[in-house]
Structure 1
Amino acid sequence: MTLALNKLNIQRASSLLHVPTEQLDLQINIDVLSNDELSDLKQSLPAGLKMLVQPLRFNVQWVAGDQTLKLDQEELKNVTRVIHLGTTDLDPQTATVLGFNEETRTYSYVPAYFVQNKGQWEVRIRDMQYSTYVIASNEQIDTSDNDSSINSIQYMQNKQLLALNQFKTDEPITRGEVAQLLVSALGANGIASKNTSFRDVTEEQSYAATAAHLGFVKGYADGTFRADRQVTREELASMVYRAIQYAGGVSVANSSAVISYLDHDSISPWATAHVQALTSLNLLQDTFGTTFEPKKAVTTDEALMILVRTLRSIEYVN
C-alpha cells in the first residue's frame, strides 16, 4: 500500500478525535479473509466470474488510544493498493477487480491496472470506497477487437462498470449519463457531495453533484445542470479532459496539438484546448471522421469507445 503522506489530513483527524496531532498514529492493515467470509464472497460473486487469487481486505485509519477514524475519500484518492499475483495464468483483458461492500453484500467495479514484470503479475488498485477486493476473471470477454464500439460496451459490462443492457448503440448519450459514467469509471462513487449549485438536480442524481465537485462537469449560467440534455462532441471532450486532469494524466497531453478536422474553426474557444489535448493522446482517432461537428450530439457507442481509450491511457483499466 502506497500513501501520499503530504495528502493526508492529520488536522481533520486531530479535530474529529479531539486529540493533539502528536498523539495520532496511522494504522495500516492488510488481511486475508476467514473461511466463512471467503465462502460468502464466492456465493455472491456475479455470474460468469471466477476468483483468481485469495481476496484481501485493506484498511487504513487514524488511531488515538481506543479511538479510530477512517480516512476520508479525498485522502483515499491518494492511496494505491498493489496486490502481487505471482505467476498465475492471467489475461489482463478478461481479469477484473471488484470491491465488496460488506454492508450491502454487493460487488462493484473498481479501477485496476494489471502489470507483468519478469513473469510476475501484479494489480494496482485505485479506489475511494471499498476495502475488500476480489480479483476475478471473465472468460466471456471478446478481446479480438478491443477498440470497436460494440466491444467497448461489452468490455465495460464484463468489467462490471456497466449494467447489462444499460445502454444501446447509436442512441444519443445524456449529460447525466456521462457524469455518472465518469464518476463510476474513476472509482469516485464513494465521494458524496450534497453541496451543489444545480437547482435542477434531484437526490437520485447525486452523481451530478459529485462530478461537479470533482471538476468533471460544469453547469449553465442559469444554475441548471440539465442531466437529460444530449451531450455535444465538444462538451464530451471537455468532460473527458477534466476527468483525465483529475486522475493526474494531463501532463502527457499537448493542448497545442494540431487539430486535423476540416471544421476545427467551428469548435468553441472554451473547448479547443481540450480537443487538442485529447487529439494528442489519440483518444479521438477514427471516431468522428474528417469533420468534428462540435455541436453534434454524441452517441452512446462513440462516448463509450472514447471512455475506454481514456481509462487505458491513464492506466485505470488494461
Structure 2
Amino acid sequence: MATRFSERFTKNRDRINRRETPVQNHTFIQKISAMLSIMLVVAVMVPVLAFAASATVGFSQVTYKNGSVYGTVYSNVYANGVNDAVYVNVYDSNKNPLSVAKATYSASKDGLYYYSFTKDALGGYSYVNVSGNVYDEGVSVGSSVYQVVYDTTSRSNNSSRSGSGGGGGGAISTDGTISVSSDGSVDANTLSNALTSHDTVTLKLSGDFALIPASAIVDAVKDGKTIIVINDNGSITLPLSILNLDNLAKALDVEVKDLKIKVSVAKVKSETAAAVKAAAEALGGTQVADAVNFDVEAVGKNNQTAAISFGSTYVARTLKVTSSVNSKQATGVLYNPAVKKLSFVPSTFSMVDGSTVATLKRNGSSIYTVVQSSKSFADVANHWSKADVELLANKLVVDGVTDTTFQPDRNITRAEFAALVVRALGLSSSSAANQFSDVKSGSWYAETVATAVKAGIIDGYEDGTFRPDAQITREELAAMSIRALNYADVATNVSDPQSVLSKFKDAKDIVWAQKEIAAAINSGLINGLTDTTIGSAEQATRAQSATILKRLLSTARFID
C-alpha cells in the first residue's frame, strides 16, 4: 500500500558558511580584505554556470553621462527579496570589469518587471559595456548580452538613433519601442538599428500583426535578442533564437532577404469567440479574458506561409483579464478548434497599472484565453491533498473520476501519470508512431505516450514495452517529474547524488534512478516516506501525483 508523501514543500537554498580566524599581522589583514573584496565583486559579475539561465533580461533604457551610468533593466522574473536581486555589471571598452550596481525594483508592465540602477564615477571612458544579471536565492537565473553605451557628453547616445526609410515602423524611442502602422510593415533599417542598441525591442502595433523583415534580424538571432509585439489585445515576447531563418527561407523557396516573420496578436472572429465561450461553460468555468490568436509564421513570395516551430522554448504572451480573479482558480487555456475544447497552459497572474494580467507560457502558436472555475470533490474535503487537488482541478491539469469524486487514495498507472505530465507541460499531442510493443494505436494513451517520448519524459523497458497499465512507483514518478522539469529548462542536476541519499537507509533499494530521485529530493518535488526511508518501490496514488505536479509547476514558475 502506498504511503502518502509529505505535503510540505521545502525550497533548498545554498548556504555559505564562513569561518573567521584572528590574524595578528595588520598588513596581511589588508591583503586578505582586498582579495575578498575582489572575489565578492567577481562572484557578482560572473554568472553561476552550474545552473541554466531561464530568465529574460534586458535594458529598457540606459544612459552614460559625466562618468555615471544609470537607467532601467527589466526581467520576466520578480527579484526583490532578501536572496533575490538584479545586478548591472559595468565593463570598459575591452569588457574588463569596472563596477557593479544593484538595481532596485520600480514597476511592472506587460508581464515584465523593471529595476532602476545608478553607478557613479566610472572614469573618462568614451563608452562602456553593461550587462544585467538576475539572481534567485543567490543563483544566477538569467543574464543579458553586452550592451554598448556611449558617453552623451561627447556624442549622441547610440540607443536613441532612428532608422531611415519609409513604409511602417516609426522612429525608435529611447526605450527601444517602434510604432507599427496598421499594415504591419516594419522598416528594416529602423529595426536593425534598434536591435543594435537594445537587447529587447518592442513593436507597438496599431493593427493586429507585424511583418518583421528577416534581413533586419539576422545578427539579432545569433545574439539571442528579443522582440516584444504588443497591442491592445495582448503581447508576445519572442526570443529570436528560436528562428532558423535559412531553413524557413528554404522551405518557402526564397532568399532570407525576401523572407518576413509575421507575428499576429488578434482577437478571434465572433463565431470562434462563441465556440470558446461554450467550451469554457462546458467545463463549468467562466471565461474572463478575450480569446486571442497568437500566431508566428514565416511569409515568402505571393503570401506563401510556413509554420514556425518553437522547439522546447516556452514563449510568454500576455492577456488582460476582464474581471477580478483568484489566481488559484484561474488559468490560461488553449482552444483547439478541431475538437472545440480547452486545455491547460502554464500561466501566472500579476497586477499591472491596477489591472490583472495573465502571462501564458507555451511553445507554440494558437488561440488563448483565461478561464476561472471553482471545483471541489466530496472525497477530498477532509483529505490532506485537498488544496493541491482542487488547485490543479481548477487549472484543468487533473480531472475527477466523477463530477464529485476524485478517489485520492487510488493508485495511478504509468500511462495515467504520463498523461498528467504532458498536460501539465501544455504539450501538443504527437501523432508519431509509438516504439513500444504494448502501446496500441487505438488506445486512449497512444498519443500521450508518443508525446512524452518525444519530449524525453519517459523510457520503456529493455524488452521494448512501456507497461502502460502497471501502477507507477515512486522511483518512476520521480524520474518522469525530473525529466519534465528539465524539459521546462529548469536545472536539476545534483553533483553528488549519494550525499543527498545517504541519510535514507533504504537508498540501496533504488533500482536505477539514483540520480533522478536525488534530484527530485533536492528540487523539493518529493520527500522521504519518513526521515530515514525513501520507499522507491512503493506505488503512488492519485493524491500523491497531484502534489508532485503542483510542486513541479511551482518550481518551473508555470503557476503562481
Normalising by structure 1, we get a TM-score of: 0.86
Deviation, structure 1 residue 252: 8.3
Task: State how 1:176-191 maps to structure 2 within 5 Å.
Answer: 176-190=415-429
Matched, 1:81 2:317: yes
2:538 is aligned, of 280, 287, 296, to: 296
Greater CA deviation, 208-217 or 288-297? 288-297
Q: Which has the higher helix share?
A: 1
| Contact 2:330 2:394 (8 Å CA) reproduced | no
Deviation, structure 1 residue 36: 4.6
Matched, 1:71 2:308: yes
Task: State how 1:208-227 maps to structure 2 within 5 Å.
Answer: 208-227=449-468
| Contact 1:99 1:130 (8 Å CA) reproduced | no
Matched, 1:3 2:3: no
Deviation, structure 1 residue 10: 3.0
User: Which amino acid in the other structure matches residue 518 of structure 2?
Assistant: Q
2:359 is aligned, of 124, 133, 139, to: 124
Structure 1 residues 158 and 19: alpha-carbon distance in aligned structure 2, compared to 1, 3 A threshold: same
User: Which amino acid in the other structure matches residue 261 of structure 2?
Assistant: L
Query: Of the two structures, which has the highest relative contact order with CA contacts closer than 8 Å and spacing of 6 or more?
Result: 1
Task: State how 1:81-100 maps to structure 2 within 5 Å.
Answer: 81-85=317-321, 89-100=324-335
Q: Deviations over 1:3-35 (max 9, x none)?
A: 222222334423332223332211001012344
Structure 1 residues 117 and 258: alpha-carbon distance in aligned structure 2, compared to 1, 3 A threshold: farther
| Contact 1:254 1:276 (8 Å CA) reproduced | no
Deviation, structure 1 residue 251: 5.2
User: Which amino acid in the other structure matches residue 424 of structure 2?
Assistant: A
2:261 is aligned, of 8, 26, 38, to: 26
Greater Rg, structure 1 or structure 2?
Answer: 2
Structure 1 residues 209 and 90: alpha-carbon distance in aligned structure 2, compared to 1, 3 A threshold: same
2:407 is aligned, of 150, 168, 175, to: 168
**Distance in 2 (alpha carbons) for counterparts of 1:193 and 1:37:** 25
Q: Deviations over 1:46-85 (max 9, x none)?
A: 353222232322111110121012223627x442212344
**Distance in 2 (alpha carbons) for counterparts of 1:83 and 1:254:** 40
Matched, 1:198 2:436: yes
Partner residue of 2:517? 275
Structure 1 residues 258 and 156: alpha-carbon distance in aligned structure 2, compared to 1, 3 A threshold: same
Deviation, structure 1 residue 274: 1.7
Q: Structure 2 unaligned segments of length 5 or more: list them.
A: 1-235
* Alignment coverage as a number of residue pairs: 311
**Distance in 2 (alpha carbons) for counterparts of 1:183 and 1:43:** 24
Task: State how 1:108-119 maps to structure 2 within 5 Å.
Answer: 108-116=343-351, 119=354
| Contact 1:25 1:64 (8 Å CA) reproduced | yes
**Distance in 1 (alpha carbons) for counterparts of 2:371 and 2:494:** 32
**Distance in 2 (alpha carbons) for counterparts of 1:54 and 1:226:** 42
Partner residue of 2:95? none
Partner residue of 1:159? 395
**Aligned Cα RMSD in Å?**
2.8
**Distance in 2 (alpha carbons) for counterparts of 1:197 and 1:211:** 12
Task: State how 1:11-22 maps to structure 2 within 5 Å.
Answer: 11-22=246-257
Structure 1 residues 21 and 100: alpha-carbon distance in aligned structure 2, compared to 1, 3 A threshold: same
User: Which amino acid in the other structure matches residue 324 of structure 2?
Assistant: D
1:248 is aligned, of 479, 485, 489, to: 489
Structure 1 residues 37 and 201: alpha-carbon distance in aligned structure 2, compared to 1, 3 A threshold: closer
| Contact 2:348 2:558 (8 Å CA) reproduced | yes
Normalising by structure 2, we get a TM-score of: 0.51
Structure 1 residues 284 and 81: alpha-carbon distance in aligned structure 2, compared to 1, 3 A threshold: same
**Distance in 1 (alpha carbons) for counterparts of 2:419 and 2:374:** 27
User: Which amino acid in the other structure matches residue 100 of structure 1?
Assistant: Y
User: Which amino acid in the other structure matches residue 70 of structure 1?
Assistant: A
| Contact 2:318 2:357 (8 Å CA) reproduced | yes
Work out the percentage of aligned pairs sharing the same amino acid.
27
| Contact 2:314 2:362 (8 Å CA) reproduced | no
| Contact 1:94 1:137 (8 Å CA) reproduced | yes
**Distance in 2 (alpha carbons) for counterparts of 1:206 and 1:51:** 28
**Distance in 2 (alpha carbons) for counterparts of 1:141 and 1:119:** 30
Deviation, structure 1 residue 223: 1.2
Partner residue of 1:265? 508
Structure 1 residues 303 and 78: alpha-carbon distance in aligned structure 2, compared to 1, 3 A threshold: closer
**Distance in 2 (alpha carbons) for counterparts of 1:182 and 1:292:** 22
**Distance in 2 (alpha carbons) for counterparts of 1:85 and 1:40:** 19
Structure 1 residues 317 and 238: alpha-carbon distance in aligned structure 2, compared to 1, 3 A threshold: same
